[in-house]
Structure 1
């Protein structure tokens, strides 16, 4: 059982500490925490992949979009939560050019049945993201910009928060944010911390939610997770919209495999031959017996 305990600790560490697997909400030090508190109604298409956190976004009744580095347990039969529904995974399809810790950090999770209680988010398709103010949302660790993330996912106990940030730059693969303080920041300025990889950067237009980015990684040598000045990268949805639509509309899963990779991108101390037991321990609770 030593491998199992070690693997759990590895995943918790990865979700809670690593700059590769990141993202929960860290907030301004000069704004009350309560102003960042959120509910599921703030972003209904939010999906939760594991009982320790990590997110995705419903973008089609049968598809969830997330980060490629977050799919290590997204195997057929694994359960995730989308809105108020617990649904079963039937497959995963990650971008074929992704390498752990690098760009192209995007993946689709196919569901065994359509989600009927939640309307999917729209895939943002314009190239005008720079200077847009977007929302982040997620559970996981938190803290303030002065000290960075100081509260772990376990200590936070799944409290959902949302925050704003402005896109300061875009690349072919990513959208870029910086955690600013004072007058340089938004009223509810915040950044991703650790615990919610794959979470959304989104805006709401005319009662529709539009997904601009997918939480991927930090890009700062001199700042810890959640500190003022830290730069974060979210995978740029508009750059991958064609690939996403090709995978979703493919005639069958065999065609989808040809468009993607099936690599689970296992983290350190995740033994491939024992992942079934590990993944079962991380599945979201199915209280409603769905």
Structure 2
């Protein structure tokens, strides 16, 4: 049984961690192929996957459970540009496996070649069809995740899904099949943590959600019927703006937490080596 499972899993289990977009069994994998221009603000936190979204020239938003290596000086990729992390700020109410799964990463320098995504502000998300995008392994809804990130070799995929429910903190998706599914129905998986639920509006990209966790008793990650929760961006826009606009890091620290949220199997004394091994190049 699976319930409120982080879409990341234990860092020592890279095979299960790194699987990403899971697709329909009856649609060609090539139809899910994506290129960076499909979502230019996409950030990649580690060489095994895990994502974020550029929402300001110097700020990336991601899931709080994904920031364990986002220490000052750690490298991440935004678009095709490698940049260094200045600091991280997670929501003060977040606890591993729960709601409020959102964090901000401040970059040491501004990204000038990419237009940041716009944060969605309205409360009418239910029924909207959005896109997911990410790298890593893959699989289909009949079996869930089956291919690891090494075999996938960093191939980028995108998939559609419909928001079936909203709560104060999350937007909710279900992996449907057959006639109930979108043409390119899919879900995120382990290793897609922090990635966007987005849609394009004219020449702008709107960020509605942040990949967080599954919420299903009887389904594994990526299986038909699984329910996925994405942090609802519209509910946290004020907190995001307060962190970004704060006059000093000291003020930011008062309205956030700097916890790395180490997962099971992550030993503090081994984190330097781990973070070095998964740093983007």
Q: TM-score by structure 2 length?
A: 0.95
Contact 1:16/1:195 (CA < 8 Å) preserved in 2? no
Task: Tell me how far apart the structure 1 counterparts of residues 62 and 105 of structure 2 sit (CA, whole Å).
Answer: 8
1:17 corresponding residue in structure 2: 16
1:94 corresponding residue in structure 2: 90
DSSP 3-state at the match of 1:213? strand
From 105, 114, 117, give the equivalent of 1:121: 117
Contact 1:16/1:194 (CA < 8 Å) preserved in 2? no
2:152 corresponding residue in structure 1: 156
From 212, 222, 243, give the equivalent of 2:218: 222
2:182 corresponding residue in structure 1: 186
Task: Tell me how far apart the structure 2 counterparts of residues 16 and 165 of structure 1 sit (CA, whole Å).
Answer: 25
Relative distance call for 1:251 and 1:16 in structure 2 (3 A) is: farther
Give the number of equivalent residue pairs: 273
DSSP 3-state at the match of 2:237? helix
Please give the residue correspondences for 1:186-265 in structure 2 after superposition, counting only pairs within 5 Å: 186-265=182-261
- TM-superposed deviation, 1:273: 2.4
Task: Tell me how far apart the structure 2 counterparts of residues 274 and 31 of structure 1 sit (CA, whole Å).
Answer: 42
Task: Tell me how far apart the structure 2 counterparts of residues 255 and 216 of structure 1 sit (CA, whole Å).
Answer: 26
Contact 1:148/1:225 (CA < 8 Å) preserved in 2? yes
Contact 2:83/2:107 (CA < 8 Å) preserved in 1? yes
Residue by residue over 1:69-106, the C-alpha shift from the partner in whole angstroms, topping out at 9 and shown as x without a partner, is: 00000000000000011000000000000000100000
Report the RMSD for the aligned CA atoms in angstroms.
1.3
Residue by residue over 1:99-123, the C-alpha shift from the partner in whole angstroms, topping out at 9 and shown as x without a partner, is: 0010000000000000111110000
Task: Tell me how far apart the structure 1 counterparts of residues 228 and 246 of structure 2 sit (CA, whole Å).
Answer: 32
Q: Is there any run of 5+ residues in structure 2 with no aligned partner, and where?
A: 1-8
DSSP 3-state at the match of 2:132? strand
Task: Tell me how far apart the structure 2 counterparts of residues 12 and 172 of structure 1 sit (CA, whole Å).
Answer: 33
Task: Tell me how far apart the structure 2 counterparts of residues 127 and 180 of structure 1 sit (CA, whole Å).
Answer: 24
1:173 aligns with 2:169: yes
Task: Tell me how far apart the structure 2 counterparts of residues 40 and 112 of structure 1 sit (CA, whole Å).
Answer: 23
1:269 aligns with 2:259: no
DSSP 3-state at the match of 1:11? coil
- TM-superposed deviation, 1:274: 2.8
- TM-superposed deviation, 1:17: 3.0
Please give the residue correspondences for 1:36-47 in structure 2 after superposition, counting only pairs within 5 Å: 36-47=32-43
Please give the residue correspondences for 1:15-94 in structure 2 after superposition, counting only pairs within 5 Å: 16-17=15-16, 24-94=20-90
Q: Is there any run of 5+ residues in structure 1 with no aligned partner, and where?
A: 1-8, 286-290
* Worse overlay, 22-31 or 194-203: 22-31
Relative distance call for 1:16 and 1:196 in structure 2 (3 A) is: farther
Task: Tell me how far apart the structure 2 counterparts of residues 62 and 90 of structure 1 sit (CA, whole Å).
Answer: 10
